[in-house]
Amino acid sequence: MTDRSRRRFLRGTATTAGLLGLAGGAHAGQGRALGLPVSGYGQRARHETAARWLTPTRYLASTASWTPLADQVGSLTPAGLHYERHHAGVPDIAPDAHRLLIHGLVRRPLEFTLAELRRFPQAERLCFLECSGNSYREWQGPGGVDVQQTHGLTSCSVWSGVRLADVLAECEPQPEARWLVAEGADAARLTRSLPLAKALDDVLLAYGQNGEALRPEQGYPLRLLVPGYEGSISVKWLSRVKLSAEPVYSREETSKYTDLMPDGRARAFTLMMDAKSVITAPSPGPTPLAPGFQEIRGLAWSGRGRVTRVEVSVDGGEHWQDATLHGPVLPVCHTRFTLPWRFTGAPALLASRCTDETGYVQPTREALIAARGANSFYHYNAIQRWRVDADGSVHNA
């Protein structure tokens, strides 16, 4: 794709303005009526309809909603479209009444109000969160009808709060403490165990998201934020942290959030999210591709750090080209990649492959199944392929 070919496309589709009256500014029919006044808190335009997709289920308090990745512009997810996964719905918590209790293997069990937590040094962290159930349908072959259904359980935000390490220091952990158990204040009392070493490294007690208070569905007024690990361990509506010598082996780390291997045993505490990428445009949607220039756009991410390379194939993996990574490329963040491409009407098979700073390369579906079998539900991170047919329609392949 050269500049010249893109120019040719535009020559064909843009309306030459030479026929229009160009003297004044009233060419586009816009009115002169006074617009709406300034306001205290803005909302999106009434013409905008991008929405999370709700997993069809009888129980909408215990399900997921998926970020519309194809509609997203840029690498950040707006708070209103951040994916959700709740186990017993979103509680309505008055922040003044909320408390965080820290106890167990500590010399000084303490209970904190939010006002007390806000007096600790403020920390900020840009990172993605991904549900380990993201792409679960794809274990059994192409499942989701579009990128929202295949990959929409990942989102990227700026999180603000305080370092858990700073708060734990006040409680004086005892030497035998190796884990902590985090519990949410939702009706499910969702409970997860986290190695203390990670908790002391880069974990936040987050009260802010994208510059304002956490949204209710993201754990308002307080959540754990565990960069790089599967989403469910970033416990929302956090009300209790208990230090312990062992994990608690809760439902959400035994019956659920474990990976059944071909030999019948299950991997547990597979917390780290492996490198993954997906092409968001072109991707399956209601409007077929028009011939001509089509920028291939996508997102890549890794729980282990920075994305260092994304390759794109338009022939299903026979040949690969390096995509451009758009900075700032930050660790444990959605990284935007693009590659210029021209749709000629010939069928194509689009795919992207991500490499992270540890050298880990996103596997093919075949390699992933060979290693882990097809009994798993969580942690599917294989290369995703989109088939472009001659009519411009795009399909999960």
* 70, 84, 275, 396: which one binds a copy of itself (CB under 8 A): 84
Q: For residues 275-314, which are near a copy of itself according to CB under 8 A?
A: 292-295, 297
User: Hey, which residues between 349 and 378 contact a copy of itself (CB under 8 A)?
Assistant: none
C-beta of residue 341 within 8 angstroms of C-beta of residue 330:
no
Of the candidates 56, 58, 73, 346, which one interacts with a copy of itself according to CB under 8 A? 73
375 DSSP assignment: -
For a copy of itself (CB under 8 A), the number of binding residues is: 123
376, two tokens: 């798993």
CB 117 within 8 A of CB 222: yes
Quick check: 326 binds a copy of itself (CB under 8 A)? Answer: yes
Q: Interior CA angle at 193 toward 123 and 115, to 5°?
A: 35
Question: Residues of 98-115 as b/e, b for ≥16 C-beta within 10 angstroms?
Answer: bebebebbbeeeeebebe
Q: With binding defined as CB under 8 A, does residue 391 bind a copy of itself?
A: no
CB of 109 to a copy of itself, least distance (A): 4
Judged by CB under 8 A, which of 195, 285, 305, 340 binds a copy of itself?
340
Q: Please state, in angstroms and rounded to a whole number, the distance separating the CA atoms of residues 93 and 96.
A: 9
What's the length of the chain?
A: 397
Nearest by Cα to 247 from 289, 207, 199: 199
What residues have CB less than 8 Å from 245, skipping those under 6 apart?
105, 176, 177, 178, 179
Stretch that binds a copy of itself, among 74-82, 194-202, 222-230, 261-269 (CB under 8 A): 74-82
Kindly tell me which of 254 and 324 has the beta carbon lying closer to a copy of itself.
Answer: 324
Q: Per-residue contact track with a copy of itself, 31 to 70, x per CB under 8 A?
A: xxxxxxxxxxxxxxxxxx-xxx-xx----xx-xxx-----
**Is 248:200 a contact under the CB 8 Å cutoff?**
no
* Helix intervals (H) in 146-266: 147-151, 164-171, 196-201
Q: Does 322 bind a copy of itself (CB under 8 A)?
A: no
Residue closer to a copy of itself, measured from CB, 20 or 374: 20
Least distance (Å) between residue 270 CB and a copy of itself: 25
Q: Is residue 78 a contact residue for a copy of itself (CB under 8 A)?
A: yes
- Binders of a copy of itself among residues 146 to 165 (CB under 8 A) are 158, 160-161
Q: Which of 243, 233, 237, 232 is nearest to 102 (CA)?
A: 243
Instruction: Tell me if residue 237 falls in helix, strand or coil.
Output: coil
Between residues 305 and 317, which has the closer beta carbon with respect to a copy of itself? 305
CB of 352 to a copy of itself, least distance (A): 16
Choosing from 105, 126, 168, 235, the residue that interacts with a copy of itself (CB under 8 A) is 126
* Cα–Cα distance for residue pair 241/250, rounded to 1 Å: 14
Distance from C-alpha of 230 to C-alpha of 234, rounded to nearest angstrom: 8
**Binding of a copy of itself at residue 112 (CB under 8 A)?**
yes
Shortest distance, CB of residue 372 to a copy of itself, whole angstroms?
29
In whole angstroms, give the CA distance from residue 203 to residue 366.
Answer: 34
Give min distance, CB of 13 to a copy of itself, in A: 6
Among 2, 10, 358, 390, the residue binding a copy of itself under the rule CB under 8 A is 10
Residues 203-262 that bind a copy of itself (CB under 8 A): 207-208, 210-217, 220-221, 237, 239-240
Q: Of 35 and 175, which CB lies nearer to a copy of itself in the complex structure?
A: 35
Only one of the segments 26-34, 357-365, 370-378, 383-391 lies at the binding site for a copy of itself (rule: CB under 8 A); that segment is: 26-34
Q: Residue 90 Cβ, how far from a copy of itself at the closest point, in Å?
A: 4
Contact mark string toward a copy of itself, 162..191, x via CB under 8 A: -------xx------------x-xxx-x-x
76, 196, 353 from 278: Cα distances, Å? 15, 32, 8
Q: Which residues pair with 192 in a beta bridge?
A: 182
The dihedral built from the CA positions of residue 72, 292, 320 and 285, taken in this order, carries a sign that is: positive
Pick the closer one to a copy of itself by CB: 21 or 264: 21
